[in-house]
Amino acid sequence: MISREACSGCHNDFYNIPGHAIDGKRCWSAKDGKMMTRYQIGTHTMPASPGAFQQVRKPSCYHRNGSAYYNSLPDFVKLADVIGSAQQKRAARSRALPAKPGGA
């Protein structure tokens, strides 16, 4: 079951308020949802531009107005261009390292 904290910001989080859910307890998706790595993009963002997608950890049932969540990246997106991906973090660290003295 998905924790209430993980549901924060979801469009259906309203149903996690006691008395608002159909069964009186939780959102109907919380029982079967799974926490997973997903790829978020704003609805008005050009998907082909570098940095358009952000790697996030969200429930499989999570959705929010103004954003779309993909379980996998489209074929044309390079993982290195995804904000928050391990490859993107490594690339940023290597760009930030100072040059070694003596040109080595």
- Alpha carbon distance 31, 26 (integer Å): 8
Using DSSP, state whether 84 is helix, strand or coil. coil
The pLDDT of residue 24 is above 70 = no
Contact in structure between 42 and 67 (CB atoms under 8 Å):
yes
Mean pLDDT of 58-73: 93
pLDDT band with cut points at 50, 70 and 90 for residue 8:
confident
Who has greater pLDDT, 65 or 101? 65
HSE-CB of 30 using CA atoms within 13 angstroms:
22
pLDDT band with cut points at 50, 70 and 90 for residue 31:
confident
* pLDDT above 70: percentage of residues in the chain: 79
The pLDDT score that the predictor gives to residue 91 is 64
The pLDDT of residue 67 is above 90 = yes
| Burial class of 21 by CB neighbour count within 10 A (0 to 12, 13 to 18, 19+) | middle
pTM score, two decimals? 0.73
